Amino acid sequence: MRTMLFRGAFICLLAVALTGCETKAGTGALVGGAGGALVGGAIGSVSHSRAGAGALIGAGVGALGGAIIGNEMDKSDERNDRADRDYDRRHATVNYVVTKADVVSWTQRGTSDDIIIDRIDRSGTVFHLTAADENYLHDRGVSSVVIRAMRDTELR
């Protein structure tokens, strides 16, 4: 019986995680609450046969923790989106030179490769990358696709 209960709880947790919510805070609360209930129920059943109480406490703590973490992720995403919009607005009509530091910054903020490559193309910047430059970019997480696009600017 207990095994069936845990299997059912695990399936519910998996369904919640895959479905998600509109925000990461909501998804975090759902996943944290379900995971906390599962762990709390397991601990409670081993400790004085109080699976229900353990599940309730675990669900509350898990939901709160998940919501806090998800909310911070939402705030981070919004800051990155705002920075990208600001960049696009400032440089929409001006020929702007894209630097290696710009590419690294965008990569570390999670800007997609397609957007980075589009910015490089629109800027008209020509990169003359050495092997050391390519290693520097690669070590900071810049994808090989973006590095290749930067290298290809020499063919303009």
Q: What is the pLDDT of residues 46-62, one digit of tens each?
A: 777 777 777 778 777 77
Residues 73 and 7 in one domain: yes
Non-local (6+) Cβ contacts of 63 within 8 A are 29, 30, 32, 33, 36
Tell me whether residue 85 is in a domain: no
Tell me whether residue 87 is in a domain: no
**What's the domain count of the chain?**
2
Q: Give me the chain's average pLDDT, please.
A: 80
Domain boundary among 79, 103, 118: 79
| Residue 94 falls in which region: left (phi positive, over 0), alpha (psi -120 to 50) or beta | beta
Tell me whether residue 22 is in a domain: yes
Residues 6 and 69 in one domain: yes
- Section 129-156 average pLDDT: 95
Residues 63 and 14 in one domain: yes
Q: How confident is the model at residue 4 (pLDDT cuts 50, 70, 90)?
A: low
Q: How confident is the model at residue 99 (pLDDT cuts 50, 70, 90)?
A: very high
Report the predicted TM-score, pTM, of the whole model to 2 decimal places.
0.49
Q: Which residue has the higher pLDDT, 152 or 34?
A: 152
**Structure-token pair, residue 2:** 């207990």
Domain boundary among 44, 79, 114: 79
Q: Which residue has the higher pLDDT, 113 or 50?
A: 113
Tell me whether residue 88 is in a domain: no
Residues 34 and 10 in one domain: yes
Residues 65 and 124 in one domain: no
Q: What is the per-residue pLDDT for 18?
A: 56
Residues 140 and 73 in one domain: no
**Whether residue 30 has pLDDT greater than 90:** no
Q: How confident is the model at residue 146 (pLDDT cuts 50, 70, 90)?
A: very high
Residue 136, domain extent: 94-155
Spatial contact of 95 and 57, defined as CB atoms under 8 Å apart: no
Q: What is the per-residue pLDDT for 96?
A: 77
